[in-house]
Chains A and B, each alone.
Chain A
Amino acid sequence: MSILVIAEHDNSSLKQATLNVVATAKAIGGDIDVLVAGENCGAVAEAAAKAEGVNKVLVADNAAYGHFLAENLGELVAEVGKGYSHILAAAGTTGKDFMPRVAALLDVAQVSDIMRVESEDTFVRPIYAGNAIATVKANDAIKVITVRPTAFDPVAAEGGSASVEQLDVVKDAGLSSFVNEELAKSDRPDLGSAGIVVSGGRGMQNGDNFKMLEQVADLLGAAVGASRAAVDAGFVPNDMQVGQTGKIVAPQLYIAVGISGAIQHLAGMSDSKVIVAINKDEEAPIFQVADYGLVADLFEAVPQLEEELKKVL
């Protein structure tokens, strides 16, 4: 078997999720090549070559891939990937965007968001917002798969010495072009891979109050997340949404503040190791999954939490 992993990156650094996906490839078994498609992405290719277990890094460096347009990536990956038994990418917004195009162009099914490998053709994935877990067998010759990164421990970032090969394949479908982007700037850890996440919900009442959570997060070295209600209300930007249709997180510690615990929210965080809930309603469903529940008004509890943490950290 030969597995092609599509690297996730921003043209300058390799995203950790790629290391999780390489780990998934190892669980399937076989030679693992990594495709880095981007523009001026040489540093990413070098980083990928050092990842544990990678055999070869293929680099498609062209302006057509600079903004990860799905139309161009789809054609590239379908062409490069047709010689492989498996094509894998992280189930982030980039992978979710182009991978179904790859599957369609190859006329094969895609298995989305897998959380376990049972065998080379059988995978486990959540359905119904994680309220059911399906074991599915892919019957096509090429398996196109997106992976839930938090479900696989990453391979080591260092120690490998894969060869790096430049590809001369330029696919510009001419269907789409990049206009602009507004990327969140934050010095905090990435939400998807942070060890601790502090999230706020509708109970926070406004965006300014999120500063309270940011202060706690900074003491803990944590990322800040949110419920859909907090994002819809405009308290915080969309990239902070945790849940079925937002980001999936599985930190060591998840602190939910003023979040009721709707199933769609739980779908994004219930694999966290330890869950803390702070909510003034003792009947809130979040308490059914919380290891430690504090029934309290968050406007009192969060400042106290900051003070107590300062004492012990």
Chain B
Amino acid sequence: MKVLVAVKRVIDYNVKVRVKPDNTGVDLANVKMAMNPFCEIAVEEAVRLKEKGVASEIVVVSIGPKAAQEQIRTALALGADRGIHIETDEEVQSLEAAKLLKSVVEKEEPKLVILGKQSIDSDNNQTGQMLAALTGMGQGTFASEVVVEGEKVNVTREIDGGLVTVALNLPAVVTTDLRLNEPRYASLPNIMKAKKKPLESMSPADLGVDIANRLSTLKVEAPASRQAGVKVADVAELVDKLKNEAKVI
């Protein structure tokens, strides 16, 4: 079966983000960018499905500026077979991203679409679910285990109270949580091979999708910062302070 994986280029998770002085956003100039960590888990899962003989082809798609091709190449180096780049320099919000992905799904007709549960920049946690609704597919969000059996996929989901397993008809959408797998690193020979894998580029207009934003960001500010407090000498002093100074116990 064919698996479609969507990946996003975001700020590297180790980077300490800084809000721009004019409060229009965060400073992304000269900042290290990378594949969203949850998308790495999505790629890894697809590759494992291929290694198990469940998936026959992995198509990776990314929406974003020209540079997002780096993340597509990374996915190709990790084992995806071909890439689709929907190129735009505009900000694409979740609903519009889902509509773009829907048109790719209609063209590619994958049996399984795997996405990260959230991107660590906008922290929205929406796109996979929206894509599933728009395409009339079932969804297994926050997945910690994915088992394909015939025309169904069983997805174990990390929920607030523990774990729940649902069975979904295929085709279906899965969004990844942290415990689904541990992504591998790309080997140098595979990075070289990835350069020759097919990568098709198109624009949102080519797909007939209007990507105008529905949400306007009025301002972006730094959070109220906490001040470091005091160091206590020992446990007795700690308990005394909690009881008599902070009065929280």
- Chain A residues with a Cβ under 8 A of chain B: 10, 67, 69-71, 74, 92-94, 96-105, 107-113, 122, 126-140, 173-184, 192, 196, 220, 228, 231-232, 237-239, 244-245, 247, 252-253, 263-264, 270, 273-276, 282, 287-296, 301, 304-305, 308-309, 311-313
Q: A103-B126, A253-B248 are in contact. Are A175 and B137 (CB under 8 A)?
A: yes
Interface size band for B: 35 or more
Assess the B221–A132 pair: CB atoms within 8 A: yes
**18 A-B contact pairs sorted by A residue (CB < 8 Å):** A70-B139, A71-B132, A101-B133, A103-B130, A110-B124, A133-B221, A138-B215, A176-B167, A176-B169, A178-B165, A179-B166, A244-B123, A245-B178, A264-B13, A290-B228, A292-B241, A293-B228, A296-B235
Assess the A179–B246 pair: CB atoms within 8 A: no
Residues of A within 8 A of B201 (CB): none
B36: shortest Cβ distance to chain A, in Å?
11
Q: A232-B178, A305-B235 are in contact. Are A74 and B241 (CB under 8 A)?
A: no
**In chain B, residues 12-41, which have Cβ atoms closer than 8 Å to a Cβ of chain A?**
13, 16-17, 19, 26, 38
Which of B60-68, B70-78, B92-100, B191-199 lies at the binding interface? Answer: B92-100
Residues of B within 8 A of A287 (CB): 228, 231
Q: Provide the bound-state CA to CA distance between A275 and B98, in Å.
A: 39
Residues of A within 8 A of B188 (CB): none
Closest Cβ neighbor of A231 among chain B residues: B179
Residues of A within 8 A of B133 (CB): 74, 100-102, 104-105
- Chain B residues with a Cβ under 8 A of chain A: 11, 13, 16-17, 19, 26, 38, 93-95, 98, 117-118, 120-134, 136-142, 144, 154, 157-169, 172, 177-179, 214-223, 226, 228-232, 234-236, 238-239, 241-243, 246, 248-249
Q: A112-B126, A128-B11, A130-B223 are in contact. Are A135 and B120 (CB under 8 A)?
A: no
Assess the B246–A291 pair: CB atoms within 8 A: yes
Residues of B within 8 A of A111 (CB): 215
A261: shortest Cβ distance to chain B, in Å?
11
Selected contact of A104 from candidates B117, B134, B217, B223, CB within 8 Å: B134
Assess the A293–B230 pair: CB atoms within 8 A: yes
Residues of B within 8 A of A134 (CB): 217, 219-220
Selected contact of B249 from candidates A179, A263, A275, A313, CB within 8 Å: A313
Assess the A137–B215 pair: CB atoms within 8 A: yes
Closest Cβ neighbor of B246 among chain A residues: A274
B217: shortest Cβ distance to chain A, in Å?
5
Q: Provide the bound-state CA to CA distance between A274 and B245, in Å.
A: 11
Most buried by A among B134, B159, B167, B241: B159
Assess the B139–A112 pair: CB atoms within 8 A: no
